[in-house]
Structure 1
């Protein structure tokens, strides 16, 4: 395919397609495997991710790209084929998580800053040589109104780091996914999520502009505007969609080709339903799709359970979830399809 950043970004948000986020850190995937009674080893992690990318029909129809972890991009399938080659054979684009995780922000208790800029230029050059054509960097913005979290310093530091990462990606011929995640934890109302998300996005695009990042060669991966998990009132899909699109119209330039949501702790069906509601009130200036991890994988993980005999069942579960989100990205999902044969 074309090596132009703009063309890669456009392919990442092709109609009805979204991203499979298979970039869980070793620690995170261990927690997921513990929940299904599977030992987390390089082989078990490889076997699990291989079964997803070998779900050929779903990959071709529904998945535009796969975000990989450093271990995974270097692994071969059981038959010796590089996993990255299997992904490319389905027409999907390989991508790579490049941040080093969120660490405590010095001087600001309870807040975090994402690290990983040191040596990033060299790592991006290596990943590009291996076939990666997009990357991901996640910034974590917690909300705790009682403690005045997030601070302006936290937002500024994280958005500047995202912009520096994005500039390095584009220098390396890699499309940056910028991911400012305002967390769902807490009891804050949906209005608070809106205001914090707006502050983060406005600062992010100011920083990207200041570092001469070409927006046409980027993808935004944000949270939906949603109430905290412990909030007394939870908004329905229509309100989530209206507030989310209202936010984007205020804060996301039309030059951005696509927005792919993170699921942020939503259930599989909830993430699909909210994505569908967003697209049902379109059209929008940007393509709006998904970049889901757990919301694409949870049912497949449970069906697999670490057993080779369950691979077909796990692939069926993954294909169903991918298909549901494919339809939601087109605004064509409906609840009855969840139980349709």
Structure 2
């Protein structure tokens, strides 16, 4: 493990005004996205769509790295250049999703899951690094409701995150540690705050047990929002205040940066929340984005399988808006630009 390389990569991933594009949708997940815009889910169409994203002029000004699906890591652009080399040529760091998805937790509550994929991960990481990946992502899902989460779900997922992170650093790859508290329920933001505090504390305890270098990771947490079925939704200011309170209590200052997931938030709302936190400022870590749908939904709709230039324009706009939010310089009026 080269500690300097890990730290340099982690710092570059949270460079001021830049964030991460999560383009790591599995084949099944991207099918759902393509179905909405009437595009057939074939490998050539997936390649063409990712090519649109990665060849958008100037997107690299606002994007420090891209999380790739395994298929994409080994694909080439429509011009014939391997995607990792294309991204690196733009100063964008290639990354890779390495987990195998969430499965039901044995003998747990029906809603609770454990993320799988540790078996064989050490060998896969060597292959991914040779292909150009310099960071990785592992997502743990925590459900609220019907008595969940249980201690078993919290501890099991935190332990897996710790093992994954240690294996990544052994291979010279920066781990994105993603414990996501889902926003699908009817819980209040206050309940989300309690559960997120619990999973973050347990996760950092496990990272300590696994001898993970905190200066060489990126945390990808949820924001403290209300469940989508909650009748009273927390406003932007409340979300920002609650989220920063949890982070200050749980995240060591050694961590270089925090790249939030959007978790199903509307595009502009995810941008507004990030901007509000950065406007508060005076934080020990950099706050940026690691968005999937909140960066891609507009581009997918504009593209529709045909209009490449419209898709690129929509992609660049959302990347620019979130880049400004990462600096605390976003304003709603800019959305009309």
What does 1:69-108 align with in structure 2 at a 5 Å threshold?
A: 69-108=69-108
Q: Which runs of 5+ in 1 are unaligned?
A: none
Cα distance in structure 1, aligned partners of 2:28 and 2:81 = 26
Name the structure 1 match of 2:113: 112
Secondary structure, in 3 states, of the residue corresponding to 2:58?
helix
Cα distance in structure 1, aligned partners of 2:83 and 2:335 = 30
TM-aligned CA deviation for residue 148 of structure 1:
1.1
Cα distance in structure 2, aligned partners of 1:77 and 1:90 = 14
Name the structure 2 match of 1:295: 294
For the pair 1:324 / 2:325, whether they are aligned, the reply is: no
Partner deviation per Cα, 1:193-231 (whole Å, 9 max, x = no partner): 000000000000000001100000000000000110011
TM-aligned CA deviation for residue 17 of structure 1:
0.4
Displacement over 3 Å in runs of 4+: none
Cα distance in structure 2, aligned partners of 1:236 and 1:66 = 30
Name the structure 1 match of 2:10: 9
1:188, 1:231 within 8 Å by CA — same for their partners in 2?
A: yes
1:121, 1:172 within 8 Å by CA — same for their partners in 2?
A: yes
Name the structure 1 match of 2:187: 188
Secondary structure, in 3 states, of the residue corresponding to 1:248?
helix
1:56, 1:90 within 8 Å by CA — same for their partners in 2?
A: no
Secondary structure, in 3 states, of the residue corresponding to 1:137?
strand
Cα distance in structure 2, aligned partners of 1:240 and 1:22 = 26
What does 1:170-181 align with in structure 2 at a 5 Å threshold?
A: 170-181=169-180
Cα distance in structure 1, aligned partners of 2:77 and 2:153 = 41
TM-aligned CA deviation for residue 158 of structure 1:
0.1
Name the structure 1 match of 2:226: 227
TM-aligned CA deviation for residue 3 of structure 1:
6.6
Name the structure 1 match of 2:152: 153
TM-aligned CA deviation for residue 44 of structure 1:
0.3
Q: Which runs of 5+ in 2 are unaligned?
A: none
For the pair 1:40 / 2:41, whether they are aligned, the reply is: yes
Secondary structure, in 3 states, of the residue corresponding to 1:143?
coil
What does 1:254-293 align with in structure 2 at a 5 Å threshold?
A: 254-293=253-292
Name the structure 1 match of 2:139: 138
1:3, 1:173 within 8 Å by CA — same for their partners in 2?
A: no
Count of aligned pairs: 334
Cα distance in structure 1, aligned partners of 2:85 and 2:168 = 22
